[in-house]
Structure 1
Amino acid sequence: MRLLDWAFGRRRTRPRPAPPLAGESHRFRSRYRVGLGLPVVLACGWQAQPTSRSLAAGGVIAFLGVLVRALAAGQLHKHHGLSTSGVYALTRHPLYLGSAVMAAGFSLAMNSWQGASLLACYLVVFYPATMRREEQRLRSRYAGDFDDYVARVPCFWPRLAWPPGTTFSWALYFHNAEYQAALGFFAGVALLWLKLYGGA
């Protein structure tokens, strides 16, 4: 229940400072989250058994995830203040939300419970710890301002509302290298397309 409360942002009181994450498990996840990403993707591609319908439906969902990430990256001023407007007024982790939507889309597109399970395990193992670590870093930098933000905005699942004060900057989008997510999306779709029509 604590994990659900944290993800849905049910706790509205001022949070207590979280203790530092430590231990071998956290160090492993911090060190290997990116490094294990490619092997997981390749394993998922090997397990994939896409159909034309699964690829079309899953591709649309995954593209929505790309759009969520793009919107978040175009509003994120790293190291220049706490981002609390636009999509960041609906969820504290819109980039990870977009990644989860992309993962859901590709899970459908793969049409493989083995691949979908592997992708889900990767997200569950690495993403919650990564989000907690980032929140500790922001709390240490912005103190009370971040605590107020936590009290107002859900951690992961967003409010169903139009983002207030929405602005988007292509300069920020490219500065934050978010085009990499778009390239990954097209590469994933191409891989599944080849798997379906090329006999891969």
Structure 2
Amino acid sequence: MSERTGWQRIARRIRVPMGFCFAGFFLWLARPSAVTLACSLLLVLPGLWLRGYAAGYVRKNAELTTTGPYGYTRNPLYLGSMMIAFGFAVAGGQVWIGITLAALFLAIYLPTILSEEKFLRGVFPGFDDYAARVPRLLPRLTSASAGDAPEDRGAFSKQLYLHHREYNALMGAGAIYLALVIRLLLRR
């Protein structure tokens, strides 16, 4: 087993627990203000929307999802997570939080994405064509699936959204905002 493959496996396993650990560390050291909280919404709300929208399209391990937000970026769930995380970095009012997040995303999410792409390439023969048309993370301006027949485009599924429990991201964001507001009020 190569070192890269070993780290990819570790990164996939630790990404969620690391997120919770970092959230606790973040809340302890954050110095929110009314302005940073308001500005953070410019990233957090679209990030939550993107994650929820993407969750309503993806059928994990059952099909190669190329429609909806997956026509713009191959990783809308991760892009949404990054938007949320960097939005909270803004809310925290500390530059080092954003720098630390960037390092963590490179160390944890890049290997995870590469590992998932290897899996998708092995399971879905159309993955390479899809990957050639749709960027890994930063989205295209127009959907790569725009020319597909309507029956091939897929549609948002509330059942998939609920199945993937994406509402947890919304509840988590609400809890973090509540903690930040309490922290702000206690500092006054």
Fold match by TM threshold 0.5: yes
User: Is 1:153–2:134 an aligned residue pair?
Assistant: yes
RMSD (Å) for aligned C-alpha atoms? 2.0
Partner of residue 31, structure 1:
13
Unaligned runs of 5+ in 1: 1-18
Instruction: Tell me by how many angstroms 1:122 deviates.
Output: 1.8
Instruction: Tell me by how many angstroms 1:36 deviates.
Output: 1.6
Partner of residue 194, structure 1:
182
Alignment counterpart, residue 60 of structure 2, candidates 78, 89, 105: 78
Q: Which amino acid aligns with 1:152?
A: R
Instruction: Tell me by how many angstroms 1:176 deviates.
Output: 1.1
Q: Identity of paired residues, percent? A: 36
Alignment counterpart, residue 171 of structure 1, candidates 150, 159, 163: 159
Aligned length: 180
Q: Deviations over 1:42-76 (max 9, x none)?
A: 11111111110110110232111000101100111
Alpha-carbon distance in structure 2 between the residues aligned to 1:192 and 1:32: 25
Q: Counterparts in 2 of 1:116-131, with a 5 A limit?
A: 116-131=98-113
Q: Which amino acid aligns with 1:114?
A: W
Asked if the contact 1:63–1:185 (Cα under 8 Å) also holds between the matched residues in 2, the reply is no
Q: Counterparts in 2 of 1:43-58, with a 5 A limit?
A: 43-58=25-40
Q: CA 1:159–1:97 in structure 2 vs 1: closer, same or farther (change >3 Å)? A: same
User: Is 1:93–2:93 an aligned residue pair?
Assistant: no
Partner of residue 119, structure 2:
137
Instruction: Tell me by how many angstroms 1:191 deviates.
Output: 1.3
TM-score calculated relative to the size of structure 1: 0.82
- 1:33 aligns to what SS in structure 2? helix
Q: Deviations over 1:60-94 (max 9, x none)?
A: 32111000101100111123211011111110000
Partner of residue 6, structure 1:
none
Partner of residue 150, structure 2:
none
Instruction: Tell me by how many angstroms 1:117 deviates.
Output: 2.5
Alpha-carbon distance in structure 2 between the residues aligned to 1:127 and 1:93: 11
Asked if the contact 1:72–1:88 (Cα under 8 Å) also holds between the matched residues in 2, the reply is yes
Unaligned runs of 5+ in 2: 147-152
Q: CA 1:124–1:56 in structure 2 vs 1: closer, same or farther (change >3 Å)? A: same
